[in-house]
Amino acid sequence: MPPTSYKVTLLIPLADNHGRPFDIRTWEWWSDRLTTLVAGFTDMGVATGWWRGYSDQNRVLVIVVKSLKEVGALRDLLREARFRFMQEAMYLEYHRVNFEEVT
């Protein structure tokens, strides 16, 4: 069976590079924008990462979408989020998967 969807993984930092947590307005913006793009996602919790000399904590989000157009919309959201979350870069991983809702 050929792959039917794309599994997307995002890492969203909990604090800026100086360790200051993001304010509620930033999180509300993020939530509003993300939920206009996708019907649902899984928050896998918090993971600690290391990037160019900085250790930080990130929310790990997993999303399944049907098309590269939707992957592109998430990429565009991350480009905007990069400024809101004061990051040099944002993590985006995606690959083809077989997705099935078992009932």
Residue 103 inside a domain? The answer is no
CATH number of the domain within which 44 lies? 3.30.70.120
Is residue 36 a part of any domain in this protein? yes
> pTM for the full model?
0.90
Q: State the total domains in the chain.
A: 1
Burial 43-69 (b: 16+ CB within 10 A, else e): eeeeeeeeeeeeebebbbbebbbeeee
Does 89 reside within a domain?
A: yes
Helix 24-37 and helix 68-84: axis angle, to 10°? 170
- The reply to whether 102 falls in a domain is no
Range of the domain at 34: 5-97
- Taking only the tens of pLDDT, the chain with its 103 residues reads 777 899 999 999 999 888 899 999 999 999 999 999 999 999 999 999 887 887 889 999 999 999 999 999 999 999 999 999 999 899 999 999 999 889 9
